[in-house]
Amino acid sequence: FPPIRVWGTIGFIVALWMIDFLGWTQSANQFYFAAGFSLFLGLYAFTLPNVPTSKSENKSLISRLGLDAFVLFKDKKMAIFFIFSMMLGIVLQISNAWASEFIRSFTGAYPDSFAVKHSNILISLSQISETAFILTIPFFLKRFGIKAVMMMSMLAWFFRFALFGIGNPEGMGLGFLVLSMIVYGMAFDFFNISGSLFVETETNNKFRSSAQGLFMLLTNGLGAFIGGYTSGLIVDYFTTNGIRDWTTIWFVFAAYALILALVFAKIFKYKHNPEVIKNVKD
């Protein structure tokens, strides 16, 4: 799975660089291009080979809607995993919502800096890092297990936000911003991709597809909604006369990620068995 999934990230990088070099960072042209390319991909999808689906008779309405996966909450281990997945979804949305705006906030003070003039290229370092870390997932999962890997993700989020808090577009500050982009690869991959693989290996085939849907719902749905709303409240709270105290804002977000890691380490009980994930290919 990782060697296939990595191509989506490569596409992400290509799009970021193209938009930057074409000067479309603040232009509606990027949306026109995205719409046109999406239409092309939709039409291309009709040319893909037909893949027969497994048909199961006498499926209940609950099963057809994918709601049967909620039975997994009866398993304490899976319940804790899903709850913390939602909380990590909040963290991901914080990064998605505010990283770019934070970089753009330096426009007035550092108008000629690389970080401001080529913000998309700077941000793309996150995705470049992601392509590297995604290929290491099978090794880390087999060697350390999902608990350690998710804790690495939470700690990486802590460093991501803390480095933002002390970063700026010049000198050592730029180095901190670059380091923040690099640790993003671990923060994202060791949660989103590893979490999906964990669901794949820990759930019964009967609920597997529904469980993956539940994982996505909690992270990119409910978690993203809560993260977008609450992070907005925090940013507004530390904004005075239109000026945002980004250092404090990022330190608050970093503290959340650190607390999450400490609580997760305490309450998530999981005994790693490398044989459980033997189907994960290097």
Structural domains of the chain, ranges and CATH numbers in brackets: 71-277 (1.20.1250.20)
Helix axis angle, 171-188 to 137-166, nearest 10°: 150
The rounded distance, in Å, linking the Cα atoms of 5 and 214 is 19
Flag whether pLDDT at 180 surpasses 80.
Answer: yes
Name the pTM for this structure. Answer: 0.83
d(C-alpha 188, C-alpha 98), whole Å: 16
Cβ pair 100, 119 in contact under 8 A: yes
pLDDT confidence bin for 262, thresholds 50/70/90: very high
Residue 154 pLDDT: 93
**Enclosing H/E stretch for 212:** helix 208-216
Query: Count of CB atoms within 10 A of residue 164's CB?
Result: 26
Confidence of residue 57 (pLDDT cuts 50, 70, 90): low
Is the separation of the CB atoms in 171 and 252 below 8 Å?
no
Is residue 67 scored above 80 in pLDDT?
A: no
Strands (E), the chain: 239-240, 243-244
